[in-house]
Structure 1
Amino acid sequence: MEAATAVAHAVGPAHLSLEAVAEQAGVSKGGLLYHFPTKASLIKAIVERHLETVATAAGIPACGGDADADGDGVALRMMRAFLLTPVAKPGGAQGFLAAMAETPEMLDPIRQHNERVAACLRRAHEPEIAMIAFLVVEGLRCLQLFDANPLTEEEIGRIFATLDRILGCPAETA
């Protein structure tokens, strides 16, 4: 997976090849094909791994029905994770979009992740505010993916600090 992610970042998902991933990983193409029979299955695994990393950073439970999940905390950790995540390489989204247009079921892990997030956020003290934080994070992520973000880091920081205050957790203690 590390090799596949490295190749995807280096050449873009549209140009990702199973041969390049096998070479980067130091395995035979046959060995790679045993685990990922198609390029689509490999890209889907990359997406799932990324979503797992995001979920772990935000403290999103594996099961969206976890009654112990703290919706306010999930919203705050999502914002923190966004601030700590490096900006995506401009233009990197096109390859994933092309792959997803070709194979719509690649969106399934994203849909499932978003359902888990929403289930957690519904348990927040003020679910609507927690959902606004989710929409802000996802909107900013999309703007970054398409290299169309007009906001400065300082402006984003102030927006998140405002959401921190509204969610009941001052930015300096979060």
Structure 2
Amino acid sequence: MGRKRVIDQQAILDAGEAVVARLGAASLTLDAVAAEADISKASVIYDFKTKQNLIEAIVERAFRRDREHHAAVEADLASSNSLAIRGRIKVAEEPPPEHFKPVALGLSMALTLDPALRARMQKSQAETISRIIETASSPRGALLAYLALEGLKFLEYLDFHHFASSDRSRIISEIDWLVTATPDDKAGS
């Protein structure tokens, strides 16, 4: 009878995120992840087989955590009016955690360079946009709010710009204002 396996896959993914934050996704190696997790390379290979599989698992976990976090926030909202976008705005009231910014930057590069990962991101974005539009009292306003929110997140998560706390709060408030906006249909003509 063999020894019971006690290596936690989540700990390996945590180690993978730490390596991505430090070196970037392109420089991630199974050796570096094993060293970060203080386990053998064989243990990393046992669970993930390849660097690509490990990166995909890290990305999938990030997507899953994002979905779960937004779902929990939505469940706590008092109103169901434009629920999907209001939940996203509520989440965005807090700036991104500093420790995750280098991970987001590294994973963004992986998403950009890998067509399969990019397709997963495209699918996730399409699902999010559909849900925002379907749950909105003003679908166009909610879509514009989402685009503005994603622009803010892009600047912050990729560490391109930092807003002062008061400016950031005002921006979030103005994005919330967009949710119920009803743009003139002739504006695009």
Q: Which residue, 46, 54, 73 being the options, matches 1:42?
A: 54
Which whole-Å CA distance do the structure 2 matches of 1:97 and 1:56 have between them? 20
Query: After superposition, what is the alpha-carbon deviation per residue over 1:108-159, rounded to whole angstroms, capped at 9, x for unaligned?
Result: 2211211221121122111112212221221122222443326433222112
Can you give the 5+ residue segments of structure 1 that lack an aligned partner in the other structure?
61-69, 169-174
Letter in 2 for 1:78: R
Note the aligned Cα RMSD (angstroms).
2.7
Counterpart for residue 184 of structure 2: none
* TM superposition shift of 1:7: 2.1
Which whole-Å CA distance do the structure 2 matches of 1:59 and 1:23 have between them? 35
Can you give the 5+ residue segments of structure 2 that lack an aligned partner in the other structure?
1-12, 73-79, 181-189
SS of 2:82 mapped into structure 1: helix
Contact 1:4/1:21 (8 A) holds in 2: yes
Counterpart for residue 76 of structure 2: none
Counterpart for residue 66 of structure 1: none
Counterpart for residue 127 of structure 2: 116
- Matched positions, count: 158
Letter in 2 for 1:74: A
Which whole-Å CA distance do the structure 2 matches of 1:117 and 1:71 have between them? 16
Percent identity, please. Answer: 27
Q: Please, what TM-score do these two structures have when normalized by structure 1?
A: 0.74
Q: Which residue, 145, 151, 156 being the options, matches 1:139?
A: 151
Contact 2:20/2:102 (8 A) holds in 1: no
Which whole-Å CA distance do the structure 1 matches of 2:109 and 2:161 have between them? 21
SS of 2:153 mapped into structure 1: helix
Counterpart for residue 78 of structure 1: 88
Matched, 1:11 2:23: yes
Q: Please, what TM-score do these two structures have when normalized by structure 2?
A: 0.69
SS of 2:93 mapped into structure 1: helix
Highest CA radius of gyration, 1 or 2? 2
* 1:22-171 pair list within 5 angstroms: 22-59=34-71, 72-84=82-94, 85-87=96-98, 88-89=100-101, 93=105, 95-123=106-134, 124-149=136-161, 151-167=163-179
Contact 1:40/1:103 (8 A) holds in 2: no
